[in-house]
Structure 1
Amino acid sequence: MQNQDVDINDQKFEFSSRTDQKYKYCSLSYDDDDDCPYSFFDDHSFPPLPMFATTSVERRKLKQQQTASVVGSLRYDYYQQTCPQAERIIRSSVRDLFRKQPRIAPALMRLAFHDCFVEGCDASVLLDSADGIHSEKESPPNESLKGYDVIDIIKSELEEACPGVVSCADAVVLAARESIVLAGGPFYPLKTGRRDSMTSFAEDATFELPSPQDDLAKIIESFSAKGFDEREAVTLLGAHSTGVVHCKFFINRLYNFSGTKTSDPSINSKFLSFLKSKCNNSAASLMSSASKSRPPSQLISASPSPSSVVVQLSSTLVEEPAIKMDYEGPGESFGTLYYRSLLQGRGILFVDQQLTAGEETKTWVQAYASDVSLFHKDFGSAMMKLSNLGVLTAPMGQIRRDCRKVY
């Protein structure tokens, strides 16, 4: 079959055939073609974006030099010969678990971001501490990460079908994509063939991941270091449209903003009262001294199959006072409430509200608040780019049988 170049916004995106590629993907991943969200080829396509694999300063130059060749070695349907049902297994597992516990969707989105933003999409965030390995899970920004058990479930299904074939790194980014679709966000195509890191990067995670308290300058700096511009930073933070945020991450905005012992003046007054009703100052502060050894709560009953398997959707911390990001309830399109709220001074996290503090970033907040289709298209493109950050491909890395440890 001859290749066909598709013109997209004056750029070229090469696929064998628009129709054939669509149904080829659907046949591999979906039981019913009617369920396939591959509108990518029907309505619009995402242009190839420049990929940058930057981390700490001393590795940045080498990573950038390697990125083009590494990303080029990824491909669509990478597992077609070795595990053709791989993406179908991941999709089915995520959907089965989502029906029982919708909270897995934002958990898997955040897990993918935290993995990819630190040394690239290499599943390093999944590793437990061991000899020679200081787990990223133990770095402060990752203490509230969840979804590890979900990846364990997915990986066990993949190992049963195709032992030693599908990487944990691919499982993380593909599971995040399915979660985004389930949360009402866009579908986007992903190449596969990532390999798993043989080490973890706890120190990098501590200093490289964006903080909930970052101001606009720091936000731009953090994302720029990974090759994202201001528009893409605004886009990716739209993932905060869903999920739960613990009060400790914004309690200072309510009671002691910048050490003033008053509230952040940028918060809408009525919204401030609402937040204070959900996050009592004394109750939230108590959580900092809570024991981290408390057993996590089991949210789904045990069984060998994903349809009724244990999902301990918990972090290394105990349950804390929190608020849903979609506090007005379900029904809002993915992204719409988030950006409208920022324009009304109702951003929950300081890092979110800061997006309205700059001329360019505010322009994109306004655009996404009024055009969810534009946001979905940009979000899909940005997630494609994020999912290709600093990936390892053969012969680098390994395929872990257990995502929590190297062999």
Structure 2
Amino acid sequence: MPSFNPSISLKTMAFQKIISVFPLQVLLVLLALDSSNAQKLKVGFYCKTCPDLEAIVSRTTHQYISRAPTLAAPILRMHFHDCFVRGCDGSVLLNSTPNSQAEKGAVPNQSLRGFDVIDAVKSAVEKKCPGVVSCADILALVTRDAVKMVHGSFWEVPTGRRDGRVSLASEANRGLPPPFANITQLKALFAAKGLSAKDLAVLSGGHTIGTSHCPSFTNRLYNFTGKGDTDPKLDKNYIAQLKTKCKPGDTTSRVEMDPGSFKTFDEDYYTLVAKRRGLFQSDSALLDDTETKAYVTKQATNRGSTFLTDFGVSMVNMGNIGVLTGNNGEIRKHCAFVN
């Protein structure tokens, strides 16, 4: 989550160049245009049409995450990337066509993983309830179950989303919060989606799981202002540790975002940020705002006494972004293709 990237793309620096040519005001207009107030979702939307839905999703998700718990992080990231572009409509799941590059082809999405999990769950659901449950809802449910399996929150997922028919890489390149964003940019990007500063601070906690490729943060280690310097907001001892793992020009090595517990969904992220050990500039940025800093301090001091509960609430808030309901969109037969 902000960067909201439990597994950052190898090409983040190229993404930075793409973002930099779009003034923030233009980005906000584009974001506002796709942030629609749709009909209300509800828990148990499929209780009559597919009563075994959540059991099917849970069982199939468990088969994958139990074997590869590190998939929880990229699936969480996938859900975030879906919701921040065209709303939570499953558009991130669509494949590119000969005439159009889909969101999967966007720079920040090229390292997404876990599509096979979503496809497997969709296939299992289709066998029981053909043509009933959207891919957008399946992604939301799988995300919740995957997070829970790595000791994270459990929250009731309101459903009733329908799937979009449009997926454009250009929109993903423009609309996703980058890991080098400052607090002003982050708050504006979230506000444009109807999310608060608290949601920003809470959803940033998703960085408690997952890893990142070196290019997403090595400018903080070697050339922060273009003068061969380091980021003064990053702890010097942490810089020294990171330099042993990411040499200049290293594009393949990965670093744990929450060292020591990157496979466990816990509150340690906030302890690290409070100690100026947040891996990304977007993590450090939380200390540059009164409200987000207060949240970081509270979780770090109280050992995350409210984080898991707060995370579920903010995930529901995020899951409401720009949803298609009623007669809008469609229920895809296969998540990677429109009907």
Mapped partners of 2:147, 2:255: distance in 1: 20
C-alpha separation between the residues in 2 aligned to 1:194 and 1:132? Answer: 27
Residue 377 of structure 1: how far off its partner (Å): 1.9
Deviation at 1:399, TM superposition (A): 0.8
* Aligned-partner residue type, residue 289 of structure 2: G
Separation in 2 of the partners of 1:121 and 1:269? Answer: 39
For 1:113 and 1:271, the matched residues in 2 are separated by: 28
Structure 2 unaligned regions, length at least 5: 1-26
Question: What residue in structure 1 maps to residue 270 of structure 2?
Answer: 339
Query: Are 1:359 and 2:290 an aligned pair?
Result: yes
The TM-score normalised by the length of structure 2 is 0.87
Match for residue 86 of structure 1 among 53, 61, 71: 53
Deviation sequence 1:182-213 (CA, Å, 0-9, x none)? 22221111111111101113222111110011
> For this pair of structures, how many residues does the alignment match?
312
**Distance across 2 between alignment mates of 1:277 and 1:153:** 39
SS at structure 2 position matched to 1:282: coil
Q: How does 1:136-175 map to 2 (within 5 A)?
A: 136-175=103-142
CA distance in 1, matches of 2:261, 2:46: 39
- State the match for 1:57 in structure 2: 29
User: Which amino acid counterpart does residue 103 of structure 1 have in structure 2?
Assistant: T
- CA apart distance, 1:359: 2.2
Q: In the alignment, is the contact (CA less than 8 A) between 1:164 and 1:399 conserved in 2?
A: yes
| Contact kept in structure 2, 1:119 and 1:201, CA below 8 Å | no
1:75 maps to 2:7: no
Partner of 2:4: none
What is the DSSP-based 3-state SS (H/G/I as helix, E as strand, rest coil) of the residue aligned with 2:255? strand
Q: Structure 2 vs 1, CA of residues 197 and 62 (structure 1 numbering), >3 Å: closer, same or farther?
A: closer
Distance apart, 1:110 and its partner CA: 0.4
Q: 1:124 to 1:62 in 2, by over 3 A?
A: closer
Give the whole-Å Cα distance in 2 for the aligned partners of 1:283 and 1:256.
Answer: 14
Secondary structure at the aligned position of 1:323 is classed as strand
2:309 to 377, 395, 401: 377
Match of 2:71 in 1: 104
SS at match of 2:85: coil
Deviations 1:363-392 (A, max 9, x none): 111012133231122211110010111111
Report the Cα distance in structure 2 between the residues aligned to 1:109 and 1:59, rounded to whole angstroms: 21
Q: Select 2:259's aligned residue among 327, 333, 340.
A: 327
Q: Deviations over 1:3-43 (max 9, x none)?
A: xxxxxxxxxxxxxxxxxxxxxxxxxxxxxxxxxxxxxxxxx
RMSD: 1.9
**Corresponding residue of 1:394:** 326
Residue number in structure 2 paired with 1:275? 242
Q: Distance in 1 between matches of 2:55 and 2:319?
A: 19
Output the amino acid matched with 1:346: R
Q: Contact 1:56/1:204 (CA < 8 Å) preserved in 2? A: no
**How far off its partner does 1:63 sit?**
4.6
Question: 1:60 & 1:205 partners in 2: Cα distance?
Answer: 14
Identity among equivalent positions (%) equals: 38
Q: Distance in 2 between matches of 1:172 and 1:280?
A: 36
Shift of the alpha carbon at 1:235?
A: 0.7
What is the CA distance between 1:152 and its match in structure 2? 1.0
- Uncovered stretches (5+) of structure 1, i.e. residues with no partner: 1-54, 285-319
SS at match of 1:257: coil
Q: Higher mean Cα deviation, 168-177 or 124-133?
A: 124-133
Give the structure, 1 or 2, with the largest relative contact order (CA under 8 Å, sep 6 or more). 2
Q: Which amino acid aligns with 1:357?
A: D
